[in-house]
Structure formats: C-alpha cells, structure tokens
Amino acid sequence: MSQAQHQADRPSYRTLDADGLLCALILVPPSFSRNRFFGMFEEPRLRKVRRRAARVRGIIRQLLAQGRQKAELTGEAVLEDGQVLLRFRVEGMSYDRTAALSQLEAAALRYALHRAGAGSLEDADRAMVEQALARLGGPSLASAQG
C-alpha cells in the first residue's frame, strides 16, 4: 500500500466538533481512548482539547476528594472576557488554587459535579453541555471511526 493510499484510508478528524469532544472527555474519559483514536490526538487542535479536559478532570477530582483531601470551592466569578474564575482551597494542606475556565469548561465541570451528587446544575449549563455533545455525534464521528 502506498503512503498516499494509507493517508487516504486514515480517518479524518478535522470536522470533529472540539467542544463536543471536550465535554465527552470531561464526562466520560474512556469514550475516546488514545489507543483506539490515536489519529485523533495527532491533530494539534484536538491535543489541546485533550489537555483542557484533563485539567478540568483534575479539578473535579480535587472537588470530589477522589483519593485525596477534599477541596472546597471558595469563589467563582465571571471575568470580562467571559472566562469563569474558580477559587478553591484544601484546608488540611493550606493549599489555594485558582483556575480560569471557559464557559463550556465551567459548565461541564458543574455538570460532572452534579452527576456525582455534589452540586446543583442550572438549565443553561445543562443545555450548553448537551448541545456540544449532540454536535459530536453524527456522520462525522461515524466516518472518523473508520
């Protein structure tokens, strides 16, 4: 098989919705395993999405105390550029953390916390996350799986 033929046979992830992928990787990380979707993570924009999702999952782990001391959310503010600034603290360690998230990242974080029984979820956050996930499923994803 020639290299051109091999390239033509590889699935294209260029049309994959980055926001939908972000939500999927935050809410169900194994849904797009690196082994099964290796080509997806060769795309620079999707590698960035994977890093963003990992960062949000790390915050979720801290807020849910999965394997460590629990962090407490001490503040949340929307910045001028639309980002959501979160402040949280781990009391036993005298550890404070601040994270600036996009509106979608913050909505997915609240969605995940709500699913884990650790918070409320506003309709706007639910709609934002579910609309992003809906854009992920469809013909482009089915053809990308090859």
What is the H or E stretch that residue 61 is in? Answer: helix 44-64
Given this model, what pLDDT does residue 40 score?
A: 78
How does pLDDT run across 44-76, given as a tens digit for each residue?
A: 888 899 999 999 999 999 899 876 778 889 999
Alpha-helical segments (H) within 10-43: 18-27
Q: Where are the domains of the chain?
A: 3-145
Per-residue model confidence (pLDDT) at position 12: 62
3-state secondary structure of 85: strand
Retrieve residue 103's tokens. 């509106």
16 touches 140 (CB < 8 A) = yes
CB-count exposure of residue 146 (10 Å: 0-12, 13-18, 19+): exposed
34-44 pLDDT per residue, tens: 777 777 778 88
Q: Is the pTM here over 0.85, yes or no?
A: no
Query: What DSSP element (H or E) covers 47?
Result: helix 44-64
- How many degrees, rounded to 5, is the angle at CA 106 between CA 145 and CA 58? 75
- What b/e readout covers 105-117, taking b as 16+ CB neighbours within 10 angstroms? bbbbbbbbbeeee
Residue 93's H or E segment, with its range, is none
Q: Which residues of the chain have pLDDT under 50?
A: 4-10, 139-146
